[in-house]
Amino acid sequence: MGSFRYLDHTADMGFVARGETLNEAFEEAAKALFNFIIDLKRVKPEKELQISVEGDDYESLLFNWLNELLFQAEHHRMFFSQFKIEYLTPRRLKATVWGETMDRKRHQVNNEVKACTYHLLRVEKKGDNYEVQAVCDV
Amino acid sequence: MKPDYLIQESTFKFIIKKSFRAGMRVDGVIYADEELVAQADRDRALEQVINVAFLPGIVRASMAMPDIHWGYGFPIGGVAATEIEKGGVISPGGVGFDISCGVRLIKTTLNAFEIEKHLETLARALASEIPKGVGSRGKIRVKRKEMEELMVKGAKWAVERGFGSQQDLEYIEEKGVMEGANPDLVSPRAFERGEDQPGTLGAGNHFLEVQEVEEVYRAEIADKMGIFKGQVVVMIHSGSRGVGHQICTDFLRVMDMAVRKYGYDLPDRQLACAPVNSPEGNNYYQAMACAVNYALANRQCLGFLVSEVLEKVFGQGAEKLGINLLYDVSHNIAKFEKHEVNGELKQLCVHRKGATRALPPGHPELPAAFKETGQPVIIPGDMGRASYLLVGTKQGKETFYSTCHGAGRLLSRKQAKKSIRGEKLRQELEEKGIRVVAGSTALLAEEAPQAYKDVSKVVEICEGAGLSLKVARLRPLLVVKG
């Protein structure tokens, strides 16, 4: 089972996400990001989107994955709540994500996230699990 | 307790010697008192001052203003200048994602007692007329061709479109237009994100406040600026919105590769940078200038929308209400400026990440109205206590004429939400006569006064250190948050 927790960053938002596989850790990272913006339980996974990003290593891939999600959310005016990584190498990630069109009446937005940063960014294997960490500008 | 590697040079100035860590090219200098410096040590801000001292071409020192706190890459409150001719770098992390986030202060000739009975109407009108919050779209739509013009002309574009007057431009940093912008270097994504965002406030710590001038500290300067006790003013805090976020994200990738190309060894990946005089550095600067112009245009549009609301609510024209821009200045920016370094005038790239330019009296770049007073510096505080109007000083030379930019956060958002209830806070503020319009109660808790350092203390330290002087204290009457 994957999980995530938030770090106590003074001005911005950071999180550590864990998974039994690297795929799961990346999925949890995306959940941590969107859960900070809005209560995930309120976002119906009714619309589906394919995401594909490239990187030079797992860290830059994580950076590009999270920033791609932020861009696509703004572009499609959606919130995302479910994430499935289909393919993951240090250079390429493909995923299917699900979410719902923004509805100002139903969606209580808690925060805006401007972008994911390179600060304290890491992707690591810890024992049997994988752990990823990121700090986002709020 | 201050950490022992910090040397206290004077009451409000602390030094971290460059010998402290291999790789530092200059000293770290923190303008603060013992308490604030200890706070900066508890989060990771001092570490970040040290990291910035690694930047190639950095001159004088890696500096931090008294509102210093943990950021990403640079500390918030960080100031760093690099010498362009000597391979000095430019770093998107030293500007941030919200490129040219800044503040503008609009004057009126209204007295606070005159607006008391209109506050409720004003609150409703501002809430409905000023687009705010996540995913908000403005009424001003700009397509590709016109957007290119906006990115080159900044606030001047807005004025030409009828949003405000020609005179406003005189009172904006760079006269409303940042030179060197090249829209060809801006990605289609950034263009798209900017399409419907001119004249939108955004979310998070961005805000609009109707304030009362509660106290005047320097009557002569205030008078020359057209500021008087009891006066109603409006403060707007916003930036370049999605355009800036996207340009920063795009160029961080470019700079990440440049770090390897130029063989830099940096302690934080977010400090990714390239020489100003390199294709990567040059391209970033030209794209960043587009975002600066977007922010200047955005605040000009917001100012116009606010003026329209005031006119409607009071049933009088802008002239009758004495609506005039006092000043508009950025606090997240990199600029080419000439400063004296070791007795020689040098062309520098000055990064201000959560720091405000504060030009002294007599500076050639000042508009005529501020030649004698120095540049107005607008410092947003928190929604329950105060904001400030300051002015630049000659002694500011040592920080490349920079001072603080706000209160600086004290509690993380997580801590704030845990300890503060949004609804209770709203009541408390209302008891103090402060009306609040906010997107959510969670946001209210995160942005609570208790989550911030005391801005009064921060500006006192700036004054004690000689970086800026207090002109007036502003009390919030009406707060509009994303």
pLDDT band at B410 (very low <50, low <70, confident <90, very high): confident
Q: What is the mean pLDDT of residues B105-117?
A: 95
Distance from CA of B385 to the nearest CA of A (A): 19
CA atoms in the 13 A half-sphere facing the CB of A10: 22
Residue B51 contacts A where some CB pair is shorter than 8 Å: no
Q: What is the mean pLDDT of residues B396-403?
A: 98
Best to test chain A binding among B245, B409, B417, B450 (most A CBs inside 10 Å): B245
- Which residues, other chains included, contact B144 with Cβ-Cβ below 8 Å and sequence gap of 6+? B191
pLDDT surpasses 80 at B296: yes
Domains and CATH numbers, chain A: 1-7+22-106 (3.55.10.10)
In the DSSP assignment, the letter for residue B27 is E
ipTM of the complex: 0.93
In the DSSP assignment, the letter for residue A48 is E
d(CA B424, CA B416): 13
Its CATH architecture, for the domain B7-410+452-481, is Alpha-Beta Complex (3.90)
Instruction: Quickly tell me which residue has 């409006």 as its tokens.
Output: B234
Residue B34 contacts A where some CB pair is shorter than 8 Å: no
Beta bridge partners of A124: A131
Structure tokens at B340: 């004296």
Instruction: Quickly tell me which residue has 């574009």 as its tokens.
Output: B157
Distance from CA of B440 to the nearest CA of A (A): 6
Q: What is the mean pLDDT of residues B153-162?
A: 98
Rounded to the nearest angstrom, the gap between the alpha carbon of residue B324 and the centroid of all alpha carbons in its chain is 20
Asked if the Cβ–Cβ distance from B269 to A121 is below 8 Å, we say: yes
Asked if the Cβ–Cβ distance from B269 to A59 is below 8 Å, we say: yes
* Phi and psi at residue A132, to the nearest 5°: -125, 150
pLDDT band at B192 (very low <50, low <70, confident <90, very high): very high
pLDDT band at B136 (very low <50, low <70, confident <90, very high): confident
Residue A100 contacts B where some CB pair is shorter than 8 Å: no
Asked if the Cβ–Cβ distance from B72 to A135 is below 8 Å, we say: yes
Asked if the Cβ–Cβ distance from B134 to A118 is below 8 Å, we say: no
Q: Where are the domains of chain B?
A: 7-410+452-481
Q: What is the mean pLDDT of residues B423-451?
A: 89
pLDDT surpasses 90 at B438: no
Asked if the Cβ–Cβ distance from A138 to B204 is below 8 Å, we say: yes
pLDDT number for residue B1 = 65
CB contact at 8 A, B318 and B167: no
Residues 380-409 of B with CB under 8 A from A: 409
Dihedral angle of Cα A138, B2, B8, B10, to the nearest 10 degrees? 70
Rounded to the nearest angstrom, the gap between the alpha carbon of residue B10 and the centroid of all alpha carbons in its chain is 27
Distance from CA of B165 to the nearest CA of A (A): 31
CB contact at 8 A, B459 and B7: no
What mean pLDDT value characterizes chain B? 95
Distance from CA of B38 to the nearest CA of A (A): 14
pLDDT surpasses 90 at B107: yes
CA atoms in the 13 A half-sphere facing the CB of B367: 18
Residue of A nearest to B268 (CA): A119
End-to-end CA distance of chain B: 37
Cβ contacts (< 8 Å) between A102 and chain B: which residues? 135
- Which residues, other chains included, contact B152 with Cβ-Cβ below 8 Å and sequence gap of 6+? B177, B181, B183, B290, B293
- Told to judge if B405 belongs to the known catalytic residues of this protein, a careful annotator would answer yes
Asked if the Cβ–Cβ distance from B202 to A112 is below 8 Å, we say: yes
Residue A77 contacts B where some CB pair is shorter than 8 Å: yes
Structure tokens at B141: 């739509």
Asked if the Cβ–Cβ distance from B252 to A111 is below 8 Å, we say: no
* Phi and psi at residue A51, to the nearest 5°: -125, 140
d(CA A128, CA A19): 9
d(CA A47, CA A121): 30
Q: Where are the beta strands (DSSP E) in B282-330?
A: 324-330
d(CA B263, CA B61): 22
Residue A48 contacts B where some CB pair is shorter than 8 Å: no
d(CA B277, CA B63): 23
Best to test chain B binding among A54, A112, A135 (most B CBs inside 10 Å): A112
pLDDT tens-digit series, residues B209-254: 999 999 999 999 999 999 999 999 999 999 999 999 999 999 999 9
Residue A54 contacts B where some CB pair is shorter than 8 Å: no
Closest CA to B107 of B474, B461, B478: B474
Of the listed ranges A16-20, A119-123, B301-305, B433-437, the least confidently predicted one is B433-437
Closest CA to A37 of A110, A99, A138, A137: A110
pLDDT number for residue B312 = 97
d(CA B131, CA B135): 10
A130: left (phi over 0), alpha (psi -120 to 50) or beta: beta
CB contact at 8 A, B376 and B440: no
CA atoms in the 13 A half-sphere facing the CB of B95: 32
Residue of B nearest to A10 (CA): B412
Of B43, B134, B193, the CB nearest to A109: B134
High-pLDDT (> 70) share of chain B, %: 100
d(CA B207, CA B380): 9
B202: left (phi over 0), alpha (psi -120 to 50) or beta: left
Structure tokens at B315: 């049933």
* Phi and psi at residue B480, to the nearest 5°: -115, 120
H or E element in which residue B249 lies: helix B241-261
pLDDT tens-digit series, residues B68-86: 999 999 999 999 999 999 9
CB contact at 8 A, B437 and B127: yes
pLDDT surpasses 90 at B365: yes
Best to test chain A binding among B74, B193, B249, B444 (most A CBs inside 10 Å): B249
CA angle B252, B80, B402 (to 5 degrees): 120
- Which residues, other chains included, contact B100 with Cβ-Cβ below 8 Å and sequence gap of 6+? B178, B239, B240, B244, B291, B292, B294, B295, B296, B330, B332, B333
pLDDT tens-digit series, residues B324-357: 999 999 999 999 999 999 999 999 999 999 999 9
CB contact at 8 A, B51 and B84: no
